[in-house]
């Protein structure tokens, strides 16, 4: 019998999972209860998440574990950041949450900056200026869907929205709240002045709650339908990246991390937010950490590029798995082309393969023409971009970052892990792939007082030992390719 059993519901941009975590006093182990794909829906020209379907999956996961005789005593929910739902005065969901890649967000940064300069927005929030942020999504609603905002009583980020429909409690968990670009780390709360200047409704933001808090039991209707009498919902790092970073099995403090999934989040941690001229220049973000610290990082477009290539191939009747594409990439010609993965062409193209090919031709390179060549361009370019971000991180923190921890689904991509070591000339420690879920489970263990926050890295290391990748000795080819990336980035600035 384990000492403790809890459930993590982890909603990623490409798939979701419910997983039981068990703790025996020395190690944590995981058992997947359900896995489901998360496919956005284009409805009338707007891209939405399927909130109702995902909610059903979370409840079904709870129900399944209880009916298998393994009822969890707590539940923590995490998901991607920035997206939200609006509740009206009677607590009804007013609209399915929109997807941060919805094209209506285009141009909204400019609308905000016409009212407050971007430099001020950054100074007040420390959050990287990116069109996906809640702030710019709200600007769209304020300008083009005013009735929706006027009717809204509460705004809840995605996991908080789930918590509301599970428990009836309305909160804004800290790590996720910081990603909105409406949280001011100096004030330690919502930035009401920023909201006022942009004419955004200040009263719709829920009270901020830190991780490790017990929120309460499930609503009676959910309990009776699913036999979940003893379960409490608790706050974890509801931002999936916060949970992943919390589970990094580090030994010494001088590490960089890459949380590698749909996005690659490349960063380090800092006790205080790092908001300087240099962090502004390189657009580094300061997202809240589970421990109340800050995650100084940058979003790199990540394996989204590969996911979209896979999707296009699938539509064309060519069915590949991720490991097929890695195997083909391994055999493809090295350094045929380099792309800047963060080019705006790649945020939400209709056809990722064509977008990559067009980029290569536009930048006077050859056209990668088969799945292996395209995948190789993606992997090499991601590894080079990681090097760029880590070099800038060392510059802004004044610290030398000696090892790179890679966590998330990208850990399964051994080629990319090795390329990351080669491109950066730093050792890589890869794993755990399920860091987000493990971070979620560890935060629950802290909430129920089974564990202290400082014990987490060692517990994760003992439970899921990472795999080591050593950089190859000859660095010349990577150094040359890096110069190419820098010149491509020169085209559009850092
Ligand atoms: P997110 O939660 O951000 O949607 P995940 O952490 O689940 O993403 O990671 C998904 C990514 O992991 C995929 O895009 C894929 O590139 C990579 N991945 C998953 N399984 C494998 C595998 N067997 N081989 C190679 N890569 C994999
Ligand atoms: C990764 C992630 C990332 C955010 C993005 C919206 O899943 O949460 O940290 O920037 O999704």
Query: What confidence score (pLDDT) does residue 230 get?
Result: 84
Distance CA 305, CA 286 (A): 25
Per-residue pLDDT tens over the stretch 414-438: 999 999 999 999 999 999 999 999 9
Q: Is residue 449 part of a domain?
A: no
Query: What confidence score (pLDDT) does residue 493 get?
Result: 44
Among the listed residues 10, 78, 160, 240, the single catalytic one is 240
| pLDDT over 80 at 492, yes or no | no
- Mutate which of 35, 49, 322, 431 for ligand 1 pocket (most atoms within 8 A of beta carbon): 322
CATH of the domain at 384: 3.30.420.40
Q: Domain containing 201: what range? A: 4-234
Q: Is residue 43 part of a domain?
A: yes
| pTM, two decimal places | 0.97
Q: Chain-wide mean pLDDT for the chain?
A: 96
**Which tokens in the block code for residue 487?**
């010149």
Pocket of ligand 2 (CB under 6 A): 12-13, 80-82, 100, 132, 239-241, 261-263, 265, 299
User: What is residue 239's DSSP assignment?
Assistant: B
Could you tell me what percent of the chain has a pLDDT over 90? 95
209 and 255 share one domain: no
Domain endpoint, select from 201, 234, 267: 234
Atom 1 of ligand 2 has which residue's CA nearest to it?
80
255 and 142 share one domain: no
The count of structural domains within the chain is 2
195 and 265 share one domain: no
Q: Are 173 and 206 in contact (CB under 8 A)?
A: no
Q: Are 139 and 198 in contact (CB under 8 A)?
A: yes
154 and 287 share one domain: no
125 and 166 share one domain: yes
- DSSP assignment string, 46-68: EEE--HHHHHHHHHHHHHHHHHT
Distance CA 405, CA 267 (A): 10
218 and 267 share one domain: no
Atom 8 of ligand 1 has which residue's CA nearest to it?
261
Q: Is residue 452 part of a domain?
A: no
Round the CA-based radius of gyration of the chain to a whole number and report it: 22
Query: What confidence score (pLDDT) does residue 110 get?
Result: 98
Helix (H) or strand (E) holding 161: helix 158-167
Instruction: Collect all residues with Cβ–Cβ distance below 8 Å to 400 and sequence separation of at least 6.
Output: 254, 394
262 and 222 share one domain: no
230 and 254 share one domain: no
Domain endpoint, select from 182, 209, 234: 234
CA 132 to ligand 2: nearest atom: 6
Q: Is residue 441 part of a domain?
A: no
Atom 2 of ligand 2 has which residue's CA nearest to it?
80
218 and 311 share one domain: no
287 and 333 share one domain: yes
Query: What confidence score (pLDDT) does residue 464 get?
Result: 98
340 and 213 share one domain: no
Q: Label residue 491 by pLDDT band (50, 70, 90).
A: low
Per-residue pLDDT tens over the stretch 122-164: 999 999 999 999 999 999 999 999 999 999 999 999 999 999 9
Q: How far is the CA of 348 from the centre of ligand 1 (A)?
A: 18
Q: How far is the CA of 221 from the centre of ligand 1 (A)?
A: 35
139 and 206 share one domain: yes
Q: Are 228 and 281 in contact (CB under 8 A)?
A: no
Q: Is residue 244 part of a domain?
A: no
Instruction: Find residue 260's DSSP bridge partners.
Output: 264
Residue 210: Cβ within 10 Å count:
15
Q: How far is the CA of 323 from the centre of ligand 1 (A)?
A: 10
Domain endpoint, select from 234, 259, 288: 234
221 is catalytic: no
């Amino acid at each position: 019998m384990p000492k403790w059993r809890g459930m993590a519901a982890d909603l990623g941009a490409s798939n979701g999972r419910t997983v039981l975590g068990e703790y025996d006093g020395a190690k944590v182990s995981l058992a997947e209860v359900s896995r489901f794909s998360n496919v956005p829906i284009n409805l009338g020209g707007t891209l939405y998440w399927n909130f109702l379907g995902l909610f059903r999956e979370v409840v079904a996961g709870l129900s399944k574990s209880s009916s298998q005789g393994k009822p969890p005593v707590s539940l923590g929910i995490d998901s991607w950041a920035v997206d939200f739902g609006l509740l009206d005065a009677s607590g009804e969901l007013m609209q399915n949450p929109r997807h941060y890649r919805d094209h209506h967000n285009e141009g909204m940064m400019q609308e905000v900056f016409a009212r407050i300069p971007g430099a001020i927005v950054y100074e007040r929030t420390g959050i990287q200026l990116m069109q996906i942020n809640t702030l710019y999504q709200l600007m769209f609603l304020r300008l083009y869907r005013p009735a929706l905002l006027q009717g809204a009583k509460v705004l809840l980020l995605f996991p908080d929205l789930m918590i509301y429909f599970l428990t009836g409690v309305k909160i804004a968990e800290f790590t996720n709240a910081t990603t909105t670009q409406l949280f001011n780390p100096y004030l330690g709360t919502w930035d009401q002045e920023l909201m006022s200047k942009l004419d955004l409704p200040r009263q719709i933001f829920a009270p901020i709650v830190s991780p490790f808090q017990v929120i309460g039991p499930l609503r009676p209707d959910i309990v009776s339908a699913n036999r979940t009498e003893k379960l409490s919902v608790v706050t974890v790092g509801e931002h999936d990246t916060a949970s992943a970073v919390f589970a990094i099995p580090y030994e010494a403090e001088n590490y960089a991390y890459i949380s590698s999934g749909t996005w690659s989040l490349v960063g380090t941690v800092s006790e205080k937010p790092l908001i300087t001229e240099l962090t502004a220049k390189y657009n580094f973000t300061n997202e809240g950490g589970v421990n109340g610290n800050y995650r100084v990082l940058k979003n790199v477009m990540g394996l989204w590029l590969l996911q979209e290539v896979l999707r296009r191939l699938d539509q064309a009747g060519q069915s590949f798995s991720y490991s097929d594409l890695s195997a083909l990439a391994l055999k493809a010609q090295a350094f045929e082309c380099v792309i800047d993965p963060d080019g705006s062409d790649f945020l939400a193209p209709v056809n990722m393969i064509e977008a990559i090919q067009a980029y290569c031709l536009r930048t006077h390179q050859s056209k990668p023409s088969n799945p292996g060549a395209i995948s190789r361009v993606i992997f090499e370019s991601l590894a080079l971009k990681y090097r760029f971000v880590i070099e800038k991180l060392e510059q802004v923190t004044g610290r030398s970052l000696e090892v790179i921890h890679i966590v998330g689904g990208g850990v399964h991509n051994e080629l990319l892990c090795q390329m990351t070591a080669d491109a950066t000339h730093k050792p890589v420690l890869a794993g755990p792939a399920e860091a987000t879920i493990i971070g979620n489970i560890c935060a629950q263990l802290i909430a129920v007082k089974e564990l202290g926050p400082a014990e987490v890295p060692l517990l994760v290391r003992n439970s899921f030992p990472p795999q080591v990748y050593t950089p190859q000795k000859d660095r010349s080819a990577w150094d040359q390719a890096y110069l190419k990336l820098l010149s491509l980035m020169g085209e559009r600035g850092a």
